[in-house]
Amino acid sequence: MEAEIRNIHKKYARKEVLCGASFRAVSGSCVGILGANGTGKSTLLRVLAGAARAERGEFLWDGEDLLKNSALRRKTVAYVPQGTPLIEELSARDNLRLWYEPEVLERSLAEGMLRELGVNEFLNTVAGRLSGGMRKRLSIGCAIAREPAILLLDEPTAALDMPGKDRILRYLDGFQRAGGLVLMASHDPWELALCDAWQMLRGGVLEPYAYTGDRETLMRDLETP
């Protein structure tokens, strides 16, 4: 199946952050959204997730506009922002219970995606006491409760140690292999290496970008107006 982001426009006050952002992606792939700070990467993901309203544009999935069909969007799309929107006073298990039916939760912990994320290692720990990597893994675990086809991620491994990065990136690789589509805002080489294609956001529009793995080139291109 194919996702098409078509002509997304979004402005704050008088500043237009997205000026017709468009690209296509297919199931089983990962697309890296690159761009300097403040160019609108997070805004784009928020629009696609339904957390922000665009002035115009479409987010098509199998011909249906997910920006207009909120029920289908909630079923199809999961969104993990930079922060970790957890209830700090609850344990990891209790946070998950807010999203999962009991039988589905136990099955996923035993043999499903939550097991792959390693969430069962800290189920009884209060969310406010989890490490950054654990919090991110738990946030992803909550987001995928409806078994989405599309996963939107905003710098998913930022500030994590190497074991934390590795656990999340291995999960994302498995998500793709199972046919999921990942759209990821990032400029982290570890994350970008997982991608099949890259889009550079400049001036509110997206352009295909040939990422070579060279960090110096990437940093120079990010600074180019």
What structural domains and CATH numbers belong to the chain?
Answer: 2-218 (3.40.50.300)
What's the chain's length in residues? 225
d(CA 117, CA 128): 19
Tens of pLDDT, residue by residue over 21-53, are 999 999 999 999 999 988 999 999 999 999 999
Residue reference for tokens 């990821």: 184
Tens of pLDDT, residue by residue over 80-130, are 998 878 999 999 999 999 999 999 999 999 999 999 899 999 999 999 999
Tens of pLDDT, residue by residue over 172-188, are 999 999 999 999 999 88
Tens of pLDDT, residue by residue over 50-68, are 999 999 999 999 999 999 9
Asked whether the predicted pLDDT for residue 159 surpasses 80, the reply is no
